Amino acid sequence: MSATGPRLEFWYDFASTYSYLSAMRIEAQATAAGVAIDWKPFLLGPIFKAQGWDNSPFKIYPAKGRYMVRDLQRLASERGLRFTLPANFPQNSLLAARLALIGSDEGWIAPFTRAVYAAEFADGADIADRSTLWSIVNSLGLDFEPLLSRAEDAGNKQRLKGQTAQAQALGIFGAPSFLCRGELFWGDDRLDQALAFARHN
Amino acid sequence: MSATGPRLEFWYDFASTYSYLSAMRIEAQATAAGVAIDWKPFLLGPIFKAQGWDNSPFKIYPAKGRYMVRDLQRLASERGLRFTLPANFPQNSLLAARLALIGSDEGWIAPFTRAVYAAEFADGADIADRSTLWSIVNSLGLDFEPLLSRAEDAGNKQRLKGQTAQAQALGIFGAPSFLCRGELFWGDDRLDQALAFARHN
């Protein structure tokens, strides 16, 4: 993949169940399609708030929430993934997203992202718990404490706010979302279509 | 297909854009899969109202509404269908649904449903306009006036209310929805999975 070859932006919130499905498969599928992925963590919270929601739509609309769990169970099963809805859902994804931005600069955002989602939605761990993130960072051969202080640096906090504002400006209203040359695709169900678009247009 | 063979319930509202996509392909795919379809028109309005919505979510959440139009254009194009968002959207689907219930008893619900969706979302016609429904009914070789009076009979009106209440009791919160032995599948994206479930379980 050259720097000028096809690229696709993958916008995700670590609290998002359907983003878990995409995160676990996007790299393999993108490589097979010859498409480079730009990993774009952001926060759905401010975007939901602007839509008048103070919680996950899966909490606000219980029938939809019950269905989502069943749908995830079926899809995860088909793909050989485990799915556990964590005891506290939706989780606070702020620190994970701040850490991911550093991984974006240093080349470990993809394995970090997969490890966070697996901890959260396969094991049901709490990703707002620093010990969960400590284990994940260590499993990647990195030191947690220096990363934590960089993650919580004012500039990095602002960067995540900026990325979230950019998502909203791009018309993103949910996660996962995929973006290529102004064309928006929403939901894990559109990953194949988004990759095909990135490859052929 | 015997009366005891696999069956799948197809729950749809004539105002629903994604139900259009399913309506146009479900019979061919179900026949190929050896699954019989039970066509279940209902009204999303009362269900949305119970969720606190007084309009289509595509109107309440403009970013989602803009995306839906683009998504439908892409999907329709891939499938060789036209897609036009009617000038007044969402449309009032009440009379079309009442007529469909009669078609359910008389065996013409499938072609009637396809003709209504094609008028609405391929041609952009108003399906609350009796002249639109008159043309559709005539194209099926049926007389409109006697059907209209049966559609607006108190018993038929009550039957549609009952079918809508049943949808809500079944956990249906959007359309299209597919149901087989208590297993709910939501959205045109789940039609293949629902047919496979009906066939194999």
Contact B173 A71 (CB under 8 A): no
How far apart are the CA of B46 and the nearest CA of chain A, in angstroms? 14
Q: What is the H or E stretch that residue B168 is in?
A: helix B154-169
Chain B interface, best mutation among A55, A173, A200, by max B CB count within 10 A: A173
pLDDT level of residue A50 (50, 70, 90 thresholds): confident
Query: Strands, DSSP E only, in chain A?
Result: 7-12, 36-41, 177-180, 183-186
How far apart are the CA of A64 and the nearest CA of chain B, in angstroms? 7
Contact B64 A174 (CB under 8 A): yes
pLDDT at A1: 46
pLDDT at A3: 60
Tell me which DSSP letter residue A54 carries.
S
Q: Which residues have CB under 8 Å from A50's CB, separation 6+? A: A168
Token digits for A132? 């969960």
Task: Count CB neighbours of B66 within 10 A.
Answer: 14
Chain A interface, best mutation among B67, B71, B170, by max A CB count within 10 A: B67
Q: What is the H or E stretch that residue B179 is in?
A: strand B177-180
How far apart are the CA of A60 and the nearest CA of chain B, in angstroms? 9
ipTM: 0.91
pLDDT at A67: 96
Nearest to B24 by CA among B35, B36, B34, B12: B12
Contact B51 A74 (CB under 8 A): no
Nearest to B127 by CA among B135, B43, B119: B119
Q: How far is CA A95 from CA A86, A111, A153, in A?
A: 17, 16, 11
pTM: 0.94
Reduce the DSSP state of residue B60 to 3 states and report it. Answer: helix
Q: Above pLDDT 90, what percent of chain A?
A: 88
Cα–Cα dist B185/B194, whole Å? 6
What is the end-to-end Cα distance of chain B in Å, rounded? 16
Give B-chain residues touching A190 at CB under 8 angstroms. 71
pLDDT at B1 over 70: no
Give A-chain residues touching B190 at CB under 8 angstroms. 71
